[in-house]
Amino acid sequence: MDCLYRDPAAPVEARIKDLLSRMSLKEKIGQMTQIERRVSTAEVIRDYSIGSILSAGGSGPRDNAVASEWADMIDGFQRAALESRLGIPIIYGIDAVHGNNSIYGATIYPHNIGLGATRDAELVERIGAATALEVRASAIPYTFAPCVAVLKDPRWGRSYESYSEHTDIVRKMTSIITGLQGKPPTGLPNGYPFVAGRNNVIACAKHFVGDGGTEKGINEGDTVASYEDLEKIHMAPYLDCISRGGCTVMASYSSWNGRRMHADHFLLTEVLKNKLGFKGFVISDWEGLDRLSNPRGSNYRYCISVAVNAGIDMIMVPFNYEKFTDDLLALVDSGEVSLARIDDAVERILRVKFMAGLFEHPFSDRSLLHFVGCKLHREIAREAVRKSLVLLKNGKNGTKAFLPLDRNAKKILVAGSHADDLGYQCGGWTSTWHGSSGRITIGTTILDAIKEAVGADTEVVYEQYPTPETLNGKFSYAIVAVGEGPFAESLGDNSELTIPFNGNEVISSVSEKMSTLVILIAGRPLVIEPKILEKVDALIAAWLPGTEGNGITDIVFGDHDFSGRLPVSWFKNIDQLPMNAESNSYDPLFPLGFGLTYGGEE
């Protein structure tokens, strides 16, 4: 072949060197540029040699677009990229953080905090592999997942994106990298990126580093810690991601001891790239460079200079690509950013593209479409729901266990804001960035699952907020599902953590009249008032379970036993936060690792 970089049999490093030697400075900067779908015209992609495109949360071909429509759109973008002078394919990225959650009809798995409750690394790896198939079916080769934050304060608006407050549990759950990317072969150099094939995707470990440890859980806040603690607590999971062939790392919006992570050369270059040996690329977060100046977005040229020199390789612009290109060209021309730094960034990006097979297979594989929302994947999600549930209470006042429930009971009351709301069940990052209520995708609500599970002669009465007349009726027992509404990032920061939607009132009014199981749907522990805990007969932490509500009824009607254990400490009151399980003053309502079974054991 005339162009070595087009030869799939040539060594990857030789292909990188050949292609880099053919690129102009503007083409190199184009490879470092990631733009949003809405500004990605064919002309922009081609003329700027754009390296990557992403969809923001909820940004798709249309509302409720299915996988084939996504594939049509992304294949079109890819055709434009291949028409550029050198024909370098784009990497298309999306936040597939609990399944391919932006695509209508995809399987939605429990959020990370629920997966942390399972302690099941093999299950999480299978979820990664299943997610990869559904992402690839949409023509997307790159997911901004997993989040490997270690959660130190549940007031943080991204709590549910963390697997646990315990570093060892988070490290165990990095098995999802292997599921997403495939298992790297023996002999692959440590730190070298790896993607097994067309059924796998490029993963992104995020957010480097310390995002779960900010003071008071403030999103994008400051993590105050010694380097030793930062390394031991927050950085440790990245060693596992890198050893698994992790391809990309996303820098955090947050700071470390007042130093913005997007501008921290010590952590991004000296530690991540040099000390840990990471050979993939570092990507900024959404408009992460804009946050380096005050007011945000001012002095943009300075922001680009400090971030690129710190070690950011790909910049999630996502709209202002013209100014980014012009400013970075000027910075190189002035010597403020060296050509060597540009070449290093582009080498890393090309390495991932070659390892992912994008030059050989840039377009969608329509044979994968049948995997989207398929029965097998929904069964995996249902298993994950079962294993994520944590039984916090079963029986009261010395009485026998209340669960499992009698599926052949004469009459059951189902109540609460979350009993029949698929959107609430899935939480944030589902269909849209923040999520929403209602039938936002295909799935089974708790009410749906109860109706499927009970006997043919059992009457199920559903009232979201039961009236006094209803409560005075004769019921065998009640199931009340309450919890948080969907949220994401800073809008999820919460200094009170009480149960919204009149949750306590519903629990109280129902449990005064009949035996009651409460299912709490939330992305973190919430305040449980002592009088509420005393009144209810059973309490389950169900986290944000996703689309497969049957996983809940599999447990509560006794087809399976509980096995989930708390991935985080459950505080008594907000004044105890942040809570440290290793502290001498540790006094939780339920400790890290707590979880009952039908045998009663923790």
What is the CATH number for 512?
3.40.50.1700
74 shares its domain with 188: yes
Contact criterion met (CB below 8 Å) for 429 and 95: yes
What mean pLDDT value characterizes the chain? 97
Mean pLDDT of 362-383: 98
Contact criterion met (CB below 8 Å) for 118 and 78: no
Mean pLDDT of 183-204: 96
pLDDT tens digits, 469-500: 999 999 999 999 999 999 999 999 999 999 99
327, 489, 537, 554: which is the annotated catalytic residue?
A: 489
Contact criterion met (CB below 8 Å) for 17 and 313: no
349 shares its domain with 406: no
Mean pLDDT of 242-252: 98
Mean pLDDT of 71-77: 98
- The pLDDT value recorded for residue 157 is 98
Task: Please report, in angstroms and rounded to a whole number, the separation of the first and last CA atoms in the chain.
Answer: 64
Q: Please say if the pLDDT value at position 354 is more than 90.
A: yes
> Can 489 be counted among the known catalytic residues?
yes
359 shares its domain with 466: no
In a domain? residue 594: no
Number of folded domains that form the chain:
2
Contact criterion met (CB below 8 Å) for 55 and 73: no
449 shares its domain with 319: no
352 shares its domain with 393: no
- The pLDDT value recorded for residue 2 is 80
In a domain? residue 79: yes
The parent domain of residue 145 ranges over 16-371
Mean pLDDT of 25-47: 98
366 shares its domain with 396: no
In a domain? residue 358: yes
Count CA atoms closer than 13 A to 331's CA, side-chain side: 25
Say what angle helices 300-310 and 339-355 make with each other, to 10 degrees. Answer: 60
Contact criterion met (CB below 8 Å) for 536 and 518: yes
Q: Please say if the pLDDT value at position 511 is more than 60.
A: yes
> Can 285 be counted among the known catalytic residues?
yes
Residue 72 CB partners (closer than 8 Å, separation 6+) = 61
Measured CA to CA in angstroms, residue 381 lies from 67, 130, 251, 426, 484 at distances of 19, 10, 29, 12, 21
Handedness of CA 434, 437, 442, 446 (dihedral sign): positive
Measured CA to CA in angstroms, residue 127 lies from 92, 110, 133, 444 at distances of 21, 10, 10, 19
Contact criterion met (CB below 8 Å) for 405 and 131: no
pLDDT tens digits, 279-327: 999 999 999 999 999 999 899 999 999 999 999 999 999 999 999 999 9
* Global confidence as pTM: 0.98
Locate all alpha helices (DSSP H) within 59-158, ordered by sequence: 67-82, 112-118, 121-137
Longest dimension (CA), the chain: 83
357 shares its domain with 410: no
pLDDT band at 583 (very low <50, low <70, confident <90, very high): confident
CATH number at residue 31: 3.20.20.300
pLDDT band at 8 (very low <50, low <70, confident <90, very high): very high
Which residue would you say has higher pLDDT here, 601 or 198? Answer: 198
Chain centroid to CA 484: how far?
Answer: 17
In a domain? residue 589: no
- The pLDDT value recorded for residue 141 is 98
472 shares its domain with 511: yes
308 shares its domain with 425: no
Mean pLDDT of 219-224: 98
pLDDT band at 213 (very low <50, low <70, confident <90, very high): very high
Using DSSP bridges, classify how beta strands 390-394 and 538-543 pair: parallel, antiparallel or unpaired: antiparallel
Instruction: Reply yes or no: is the peptide bond before residue 201 cis, omega within 30 of 0.
Output: no
pLDDT tens digits, 387-402: 999 999 999 877 789 9
358 shares its domain with 497: no
In a domain? residue 590: no
- The pLDDT value recorded for residue 580 is 87
pLDDT band at 601 (very low <50, low <70, confident <90, very high): low
Mean pLDDT of 549-571: 98
134, 285, 347, 493: which is the annotated catalytic residue?
A: 285
pLDDT band at 602 (very low <50, low <70, confident <90, very high): low
Contact criterion met (CB below 8 Å) for 391 and 405: no
In a domain? residue 377: no
Mean pLDDT of 218-232: 98
In a domain? residue 600: no
The length of the chain in residues reads: 602
In a domain? residue 587: no
H/E stretch holding 315 reads strand 315-316
320 shares its domain with 417: no
415 shares its domain with 523: yes
